[in-house]
Amino acid sequence: MKRGRFITFEGVEGSGKSTHIRALARRLETLGHHVLCVREPGGTRTGEAIRRILQHDETGEPIAPRTELLLFAACRAQLVEQVIRPALRRGTWVLCDRFADSTVAYQGYGRGLPLKMVEAVNRCARDGCRPDLTILMDVEVGRGRNRLARRNRRAGGSRDRIEREAAAFHERVRQGYLRLAHHEPRRIRIVSSSGPVRMVEEAVWSTVRDVLKPESR
């Protein structure tokens, strides 16, 4: 059986990742592929428990940047081991909302932890599991934050611990992502998510078609 394909979606808050993951999953399923959508942090029971600590201040004490780095990595190690690698072996296409690039962008560029340290921890967590394609949904920080605020108002939610960080933090994250894409242009494709949803959806689809040829698999 052919190994499945592993696609990750990255971007700052409010960049539309989850909407476009759902749309891509529908298109791939129409072609007859088995698709699994997962998210980070989370996707396993251990990962969801860690997500609550990371996002909702469950412990009530400040989380040190290195602790944060290791907790995100722990989620990832569990997800790779329990979910992603077995699914790829079964031939399933795995669409993941955030993966190792988030750690470089948020803990490396955002928090300012040394990039070499972040990369070493990422290597341990990924354990050789690499995305075939990463879609970087790029949007201006202000626009993304407005979208997020609208979504929270509609759903009655509130901003989590990282979403509450200052705009300057999120700007560093965005610039970090763009730098990553510059260094790895074959794997990381930038899709602007500023336009209308249908247009962005088409841009994501044409990128996936060009790079992974889902029609011929």
Q: Which residues bind ligand TMP (CB under 6 A)?
A: 13, 39-41, 72, 97-98, 102-103, 106-107, 162-163
Nearer to ligand TMP, 92 or 107 (CB): 107
Nearest CB to ligand TMP, comparing residues 100 and 208? 100
DSSP the chain: -----EEEEE-STTS-HHHHHHHHHHHHHHTT--EEEEESS-SSHHHHHHHHHHHH-TTSSPPPHHHHHHHHHHHHHHHIIIIIHHHHHTT-EEEEES-HHHHIIIIIIIT---HHHHHHHHHHHHTT---SEEEEEE--HHHHHHHHHHHHHHHT----TTTTS-HHHHHHHHHHHHHHHHH-TTTEEEEE-SS-HHHHHHHHHHHHHHHH-GGG-
CB nearer to ligand TMP: give 34 or 130.
130
The residue at minimum Cβ distance from ligand TMP is 106
Q: How far is the CB of 113 from ligand TMP (least distance, A)?
A: 11
Q: State in angstroms the smallest separation of the CB of 72 from ligand TMP.
A: 4
Q: How many CB atoms are closer than 10 A to CB 199?
A: 12
Residue closer to ligand TMP, measured from CB, 13 or 201 = 13
40 versus 201: smaller Cβ distance to ligand TMP = 40
Between 40 and 138, name the residue whose CB sits nearer to ligand TMP. Answer: 40
Residue 2 CB, shortest distance to ligand TMP, in Å, is 28
| Closest by Cα among 105, 102, 100, 127 to 172 | 105
User: What is the nearest approach in angstroms of ligand TMP to the Cβ of residue 215?
Assistant: 29
| In the block, residue with structure tokens 């948020």 | 106
